[in-house]
Chains A and B, each alone.
Chain A
Amino acid sequence: MKRVLVIGAGLTGLFAAAMAARRGAEVTLVTDGRGGLELSHGCIDLLTPPLSPETFGHLLPAHPYRRAGLERIREAMDLFREFLTEQGLTYFGSLEHNLALPSAAGGIRDTGLAPLAQATGALADAGTFHLASLAHFRDFSAAFAAQRLRQRGLPVGGVVELALPNLPPGRDLYATDLARLFDDREWREETIRSWRSPLTGIQRLGVPAVLGLTGAEAARTSAEEQLGVRLFEIPTLPPSVPGLRLERALRRTAQAAGAHLIEGAHATGLVEAASIGRVTGVVYVSAGGPRPQRAEAVILATGGALHGGLVFRSHGAVQESVFDLPVEHASERGGWTAESLFASQPYSRFGVIIGDDFRPVGPDGQPLFENLFAAGGLLGGCDRTAEGSRQGIDLVSAYCAVEEALT
Chain B
Amino acid sequence: MTSLSTQLLVLGGGATGLGIAWDACLRGLKVVLVEQGDIGQGTSGRYHGLLHSGGRYVVSDPVSARDCAAENAILRRLASHTIEDTGGFFAAAPGDPPAFADLWLEGCRHAGVPATEISATEACRREPLLNPRLQRVFAVQDASLDSFDLLHALVRAIRSAGGQVWLRHRVDGLLREGDRVSGAIVRPSGSTDTRTVHAEMVVNATGPWARETARLAGLDIPMALGKGAMVAMATRLVNTVVNRLKPPADGDIIVPVGTVAVLGTTDVPVDRPTDLHIDPWEIDLLLAEAEILIPDISHHRPLRAWAGIRPLFRPARAAGETRQMPRAHLILDHAAADGTPGMISVIGGKLTTYRLMAEQTMDEVCRQLHVQAACRTMDAPLERPADARYFTLPARLEALERAGRHQQQPEVICECESVTREQILHALESADTTDLDDVRRDLRLGMGPCQAGFCAYRAAALAESRAGAGSTWLEAFLEERWRGTRPLAWGTELRQMDLTRRIYLELMAVRPATEAP
Known: A138-B411, A139-B458, A333-B489. A151 touches B479 (CB 8 A): no
0/1 interface trace, chain B 450-472, chain A, CB 8 Å (1 if under): 00001001101110110001100
Q: Decide if B494 is an interface residue (CB 8 Å cutoff).
A: yes
Q: Is the CB of B457 within 8 A of A105?
A: yes
Q: Which of these, A39, A139, A337, A348, contacts B486 with CB under 8 Å? A: A337
Q: Decide if B230 is an interface residue (CB 8 Å cutoff).
A: no
Residues of B within 8 A of A136 (CB): 411
Q: Is the CB of A237 within 8 A of B503?
A: yes
Q: Is the CB of A385 within 8 A of B505?
A: yes
Q: Decide if A199 is an interface residue (CB 8 Å cutoff).
A: no
0/1 interface trace, chain A 321-347, chain B, CB 8 Å (1 if under): 000000000001110110111110101
Q: Which of these, B409, B458, B517, contacts A138 with CB under 8 Å? A: B458
Question: Smallest CB–CB gap between A309 and chain B, Å?
Answer: 11
Q: Report the separation of the CA atoms of residues A122 and B454 in the bound assembly, to the nearest whole angstrom.
A: 26
Q: Report the separation of the CA atoms of residues A373 and B511 in the bound assembly, to the nearest whole angstrom.
A: 35
Q: Decide if A289 is an interface residue (CB 8 Å cutoff).
A: no
Q: Is the CB of A153 within 8 A of B517?
A: yes
Residues of B within 8 A of A151 (CB): 469-470, 516-517
Q: Which of B145-153, B217-225, B258-266, B279-287 contacts A (4 or more CB under 8 A)?
A: B279-287
Q: Which of these, A169, A238, A305, contacts B495 with CB under 8 Å? A: A305
Within 8 A of A (CB), among B269-287: 279-280, 283-284, 287
Q: Decide if B95 is an interface residue (CB 8 Å cutoff).
A: no
Q: Which of A2-10, A63-71, A78-86, A311-319 contacts B (4 or more CB under 8 A)?
A: A311-319
Q: Decide if A251 is an interface residue (CB 8 Å cutoff).
A: no
Q: Is the CB of A238 within 8 A of B280?
A: no
Question: Smallest CB–CB gap between B201 and chain A, Å?
Answer: 42
Q: Report the separation of the CA atoms of residues A170 and B411 in the bound assembly, to the nearest whole angstrom.
A: 11
Q: Is the CB of B499 within 8 A of A306?
A: yes
Residues of B in contact (CB 8 Å), total: 51
Residues of A within 8 A of B505 (CB): 341-342, 385-386
Q: Is the CB of A237 within 8 A of B454?
A: yes
Q: Is the CB of A341 within 8 A of B500?
A: yes
Residues of A within 8 A of B457 (CB): 104-105, 139, 141, 237
Size range of the chain A interface in the assembly = 35 or more
Q: Decide if B501 is an interface residue (CB 8 Å cutoff).
A: yes
Q: Is the CB of A169 within 8 A of B287?
A: no
Q: Is the CB of A105 within 8 A of B509?
A: yes
Of listed B284, B413, B460, B509, residue having the most chain A CB within 10 A: B509
0/1 interface trace, chain A 79-111, chain B, CB 8 Å (1 if under): 000000000000000000000000111011110
Q: Report the separation of the CA atoms of residues A308 and B407 in the bound assembly, to the nearest whole angstrom.
A: 41
Q: Decide if B128 is an interface residue (CB 8 Å cutoff).
A: no
Question: Smallest CB–CB gap between A223 and chain B, Å?
Answer: 24
Q: Report the separation of the CA atoms of residues A237 and B516 in the bound assembly, to the nearest whole angstrom.
A: 21
Known: A105-B504, A172-B412. A141 touches B495 (CB 8 A): no
Residues of A within 8 A of B504 (CB): 105, 341
Residues of B within 8 A of A204 (CB): none
Residues of A within 8 A of B499 (CB): 39, 306
Q: Report the separation of the CA atoms of residues A312 and B502 in the bound assembly, to the nearest whole angstrom.
A: 18
Residues of B within 8 A of A143 (CB): 461, 464-465
Q: Is the CB of B461 within 8 A of A39?
A: no
Q: Decide if A193 is an interface residue (CB 8 Å cutoff).
A: no
Q: Report the separation of the CA atoms of residues A305 and B491 in the bound assembly, to the nearest whole angstrom.
A: 8
Q: Is the CB of B489 within 8 A of A172?
A: no
Q: Decide if A397 is an interface residue (CB 8 Å cutoff).
A: no
Known: A141-B464, A147-B464. A238 touches B507 (CB 8 A): yes
Residues of B within 8 A of A313 (CB): 490-491
Q: Decide if A187 is an interface residue (CB 8 Å cutoff).
A: no
Q: Decide if B508 is an interface residue (CB 8 Å cutoff).
A: yes
Q: Report the separation of the CA atoms of residues A136 and B420 in the bound assembly, to the nearest whole angstrom.
A: 13
Residues of B within 8 A of A345 (CB): 501
Of chain B, the residue at the smallest CB distance from A136 is: B411
User: In terms of DSSP, what is the predominant structure of the interface of chain B?
Assistant: helix
Q: Decide if A130 is an interface residue (CB 8 Å cutoff).
A: no
Residues of A within 8 A of B497 (CB): 337
Q: Decide if B373 is an interface residue (CB 8 Å cutoff).
A: no
0/1 interface trace, chain A 353-389, chain B, CB 8 Å (1 if under): 0000000000000000000000000000000011010
Q: Report the separation of the CA atoms of residues A107 and B513 in the bound assembly, to the nearest whole angstrom.
A: 12
Q: Decide if B385 is an interface residue (CB 8 Å cutoff).
A: no
Q: Is the CB of B469 within 8 A of A107?
A: no
Q: Which of these, A152, A312, A385, contacts B501 with CB under 8 Å? A: A385
Q: Which of these, B407, B411, B478, B509, contacts A172 with CB under 8 Å? A: B411
Q: Report the separation of the CA atoms of residues A107 and B461 in the bound assembly, to the nearest whole angstrom.
A: 13
Question: Smallest CB–CB gap between A276 and chain B, Å?
Answer: 34
Q: Report the separation of the CA atoms of residues A42 and B181 in the bound assembly, to the nearest whole angstrom.
A: 65
Known: A151-B469, A334-B280. A390 touches B506 (CB 8 A): yes
Known: A141-B464, A341-B482, A385-B501. A39 touches B507 (CB 8 A): yes
0/1 interface trace, chain B 296-320, chain A, CB 8 Å (1 if under): 0000000000000000000000000
Q: Which of these, A144, A306, A343, contacts B502 with CB under 8 Å? A: A306
Residues of B within 8 A of A237 (CB): 454, 457-458, 503, 507
Q: Report the separation of the CA atoms of residues A245 and B502 in the bound assembly, to the nearest whole angstrom.
A: 19
Q: Decide if A235 is an interface residue (CB 8 Å cutoff).
A: yes
Residues of A within 8 A of B498 (CB): 304-306, 347-348
Residues of A within 8 A of B462 (CB): 141
Question: Smallest CB–CB gap between A191 and chain B, Å?
Answer: 20
Within 8 A of A (CB), among B188-223: none
Known: A138-B458, A141-B461, A333-B490. A103 touches B501 (CB 8 A): no
Of listed B407, B491, B494, residue having the most chain A CB within 10 A: B494
Residues of B within 8 A of A390 (CB): 506
Question: Smallest CB–CB gap between B487 and chain A, Å?
Answer: 8
Q: Report the separation of the CA atoms of residues A171 and B486 in the bound assembly, to the nearest whole angstrom.
A: 33
Residues of B within 8 A of A311 (CB): 491
Question: Smallest CB–CB gap between B62 and chain A, Å?
Answer: 38
Question: Smallest CB–CB gap between A365 and chain B, Å?
Answer: 28
Known: A151-B516, A306-B499, A341-B479. A347 touches B494 (CB 8 A): yes
Q: What are 7 A-B pairs at a CB distance below 8 A?
A: A40-B507, A107-B509, A143-B464, A144-B461, A237-B454, A337-B494, A385-B505
- B residues apposed to A, CB below 8 Å: 279-280, 283-284, 287, 407, 409, 411-413, 421, 454, 457-458, 460-462, 464-465, 469-470, 474-475, 478-479, 482-483, 486, 489-491, 494-495, 497-512, 516-517
The 6 A-B pairs with the shortest beta carbon distances in the complex, nearest first, are: A107-B509, A141-B461, A342-B512, A144-B461, A109-B509, A105-B508
Please give 14 more A-B residue pairs, beta carbons under 8 A apart, in addition to A105-B504, A306-B499, A314-B283. A39-B507, A104-B507, A105-B474, A105-B509, A138-B413, A138-B461, A153-B517, A169-B409, A305-B498, A312-B490, A313-B490, A337-B497, A339-B483, A341-B501
